Amino acid sequence: MTRVLSVASECAPLVKTGGLADVVGALPIAMAAFGDELRTLIPGYPGVLEKVSQGEVVAEFTDLFGGPARVEAVQAAGLELLILVAPHLFERAGGLYNDAMGQDWPDNPERFAALSFAAAQIAADGLGDWHPDVVHGHDWQAGLVPEYLAALGCAVPFILTVHNVAFHGNAPGDRIAALRLDPGRFHADHYEFWGQISALKAGLMGAAQITTVSQTYAEELMTPHFGMGMDGVLRHRRRDLHGIVNGIDIDVWNPATDAEITPYTTLKGKAANKKALRAEFGLGPAKGPLCVLVSRLTDQKGIDLLLHALPALLDRAGQVAVLGSGDPALEVALLERAADDPNLAVKIGYDEALSHRMMAGGDCILVPSRFEPCGLTQLYGLRYGTLPLVALTGGLADTVINASPAALAAKVATGIQFSPITAEALANAFTRLCDLYAEHKVWTAMVRNAMKAPVGWDTSAARYHALYEATAQK
């Protein structure tokens, strides 16, 4: 058994902006099957404090980057949680990372330095008779943990998981004292990054081991195109870099028991859900595939490519139902296109229950991302027999078996991949999709393959267990 202090800025089902929260919430439950004990430290945002009862105070700080704070131990959603209650840092209106205008909170460096500082203190002092063997941090928000561990003289090893390398958590170099960092470590071997303080760089350099969320993404990260400026650091740490694909909660995402849908176990059983989804989106009958897209509406997610490639699908009697929000210009473009085409329907916003109904009712889930560290959407699609059409990148490359002639002949295909990641290649993929959909036996075989694909945590949890054990013993 390994005792692990997990440190993250969000954790489903309590607080979520993306897939990071799903992983942080699912990992403790998955690891319990291997005897590992995870306690998860997260900020006390208003939405979190509303959902949990007041817990036992297990740590206190008279001045944590500008005000008093405490850590409360609570149990919620089957998780052992440690809530960092710091009203001056986290109890405010707006988003987790941005204000109501969408701008980064100016004190984000202090807010998440506080999270890292509290984690290091817990690692050094323990919580009663509970002492972590490993600290497992997620993304830049936990990146300063090894700096504070070093300052405390604490030898508990640190593992960093990179969910998205695009966000570095940078701060000006003149905030070293404000962030309680050792100025003697402001150099390339620690947290200095082009004259700035970088929380992500600190985590990458200070971690005993680094993981990311798919093997392909691990390889991509070491290239200038995908490394977002950190490719040199990651090449330097390549021996300690591991790609471990994410899993999903197969109890929550289970078409046989999902309370949001008409339950089913076969392709035939999807028909009622497809009919209901069309009605919900105002779509009529059509001969082509009903595609669904549940996504942030950004260029990173390939939404601009989708807009250009849509005719290749719609002209073949295909349909698209979209749920998401993001770039205002892309939202408007989708809504305007939907107003002109009865086979495209768009709902702006996010609705967890509706996303379940879309997975159940769709024939195909679209994930045309320019980069995707792992992606969970395609895994939900596989689970529900909603075949993924994905860009050949990151975790999308690792989890979807392309319907190539060889894969179709071997009867193992589970979806469609396209490359290069351009509008033209996506349009060609739509043509392939419509051709496959028209071949009922081939399509049915692919759906069956998809629904049998291993999308849970078993394999990945076994790899994390081995990594925790090996790291704790070093």
Interacting residues of 341 by C-beta distance below 8 A, sequence separation 6+: 314
Nearest alpha-carbon partner for 147 in 197, 210, 212: 197
Pick left, alpha or beta for residue 207 (phi over 0 → left; psi -120 to 50 → alpha; otherwise beta): beta
State the Cα angle at 364 between 441 and 262, rounded to 5°.
90
Q: Cα separation of 54 and 283, whole Å?
A: 47
In this structure, what are the phi and psi dihedrals at residue 80, rounded to the nearest 5 degrees? Answer: -95, 105
**Is residue 257 domain-resident?**
no
Nearest alpha-carbon partner for 230 in 302, 117, 143: 143
Query: What is residue 100's predicted lDDT score, i.e. its pLDDT?
Result: 84
pLDDT exceeds cutoff 90 at 19: no
The CATH number of residue 347's host domain is 3.40.50.2000
User: Which position has the token pair 């984690």?
Assistant: 119
Query: What is residue 57's predicted lDDT score, i.e. its pLDDT?
Result: 97
pLDDT exceeds cutoff 90 at 101: no
pLDDT exceeds cutoff 80 at 474: no
Count of residues in the chain? 474
For residue 437, what pLDDT band results from cuts at 50, 70 and 90?
very high
**Is residue 41 domain-resident?**
yes
Residues 306 and 435 reside in one and the same domain: yes
What sign does the dihedral 271-273-275-281 (CA atoms) show? negative
**Is residue 254 domain-resident?**
no
Residues 279 and 370 reside in one and the same domain: yes
**Is residue 242 domain-resident?**
yes
Query: What is residue 470's predicted lDDT score, i.e. its pLDDT?
Result: 97
Residues 106 and 137 reside in one and the same domain: yes
For residue 8, what pLDDT band results from cuts at 50, 70 and 90?
very high
Instruction: Specify which residues 56 forms β-bridges with.
Output: 73
Nearest alpha-carbon partner for 449 in 402, 398, 397: 402
Range 445-466 burial, b when 16+ CB lie within 10 A, else e = bbbebbbebebbbeebbeebbe
CB atoms within 10 A of CB 303: 25
Residues 124 and 227 reside in one and the same domain: yes
**Is residue 425 domain-resident?**
yes
Residues 376 and 462 reside in one and the same domain: no
Residues 97 and 211 reside in one and the same domain: yes
| Region 6-33 average pLDDT | 94
By percentage, how much of the chain surpasses pLDDT 70?
100
For residue range 46-77, list pLDDT tens digits in order.
Answer: 999 999 998 999 999 999 999 999 999 999 99
Pick left, alpha or beta for residue 397 (phi over 0 → left; psi -120 to 50 → alpha; otherwise beta): alpha
Kind of pairing between the strands at 69-76 and 196-198 = unpaired
Residues 209 and 286 reside in one and the same domain: no
Kind of pairing between the strands at 241-243 and 37-43 = unpaired
Average pLDDT of the residues of the chain? 96
For residue range 361-377, list pLDDT tens digits in order.
Answer: 999 999 999 999 999 99
Q: How many domains does the chain have?
A: 2
For residue range 303-314, list pLDDT tens digits in order.
Answer: 999 999 999 999
Q: Cα separation of 22 and 355, whole Å?
A: 15
* Residues contributing to the annotated binding site for ADP-alpha-D-glucose: 16
Q: Cα separation of 418 and 434, whole Å?
A: 14
**Is residue 252 domain-resident?**
no
* Residues contributing to the annotated binding site: 16
For residue range 366-405, list pLDDT tens digits in order.
Answer: 999 999 999 999 999 999 999 999 999 999 999 999 999 9
Residues 307 and 346 reside in one and the same domain: yes
| Region 327-350 average pLDDT | 97
Residues 156 and 289 reside in one and the same domain: no
For residue 420, what pLDDT band results from cuts at 50, 70 and 90?
very high
For residue 154, what pLDDT band results from cuts at 50, 70 and 90?
very high
Query: What is residue 473's predicted lDDT score, i.e. its pLDDT?
Result: 85
In this structure, what are the phi and psi dihedrals at residue 356, rounded to the nearest 5 degrees? Answer: -65, -45
**Is residue 258 domain-resident?**
no
Residues 428 and 401 reside in one and the same domain: yes
Residues 426 and 368 reside in one and the same domain: yes
Residues 301 and 187 reside in one and the same domain: no
Range of the domain at 197: 3-247+458-473
**Is residue 261 domain-resident?**
no
